[in-house]
Amino acid sequence: MWYGIGNTGVANPSTAQMEVHPNGELRLLTGTADIGQGSDTVLLQIASEALGVNFNEIRLIRADTSVTTDAGATSASRQTYISGNAVFAQSGI
């Protein structure tokens, strides 16, 4: 079986940022736009699992061009795989 993810044959990046504020607030910043595919949920699940904290302890800031970086196209399962790995990498694991 072949399964294409994202832009086959060309660069297909995404980034994410994790912030810990002095008051203890955890923030996940991603350019991902959730258009019904569930990326908000899955990215928070990845971050909470990697950090060992409750899902509800992380504030998600998404698709805000004033503070988030480009996460690429929102198409099918791309955000789960590409942005999910960016979140995982930023979670310190």
The pair of structure tokens assigned to 52 is 């060992």
> What is each CA distance from 55 to 2, 33, 52, 72, 88, in whole angstroms?
33, 19, 9, 24, 14
Amino acid in position 57:
E
**CA 76 to CA 60: how far, in whole Å?**
21
CATH 3.30.365.10 assigned to 16-90: yes
Give this prediction's pTM: 0.87
User: In the predicted model, what is the mean pLDDT of residues 56-80?
Assistant: 91
Q: How confident is the model at residue 91 (pLDDT cuts 50, 70, 90)?
A: confident
- Domain parsing of the chain, residue ranges: 16-90
pLDDT in tens, 36-65: 999 999 999 999 999 999 999 999 999 999
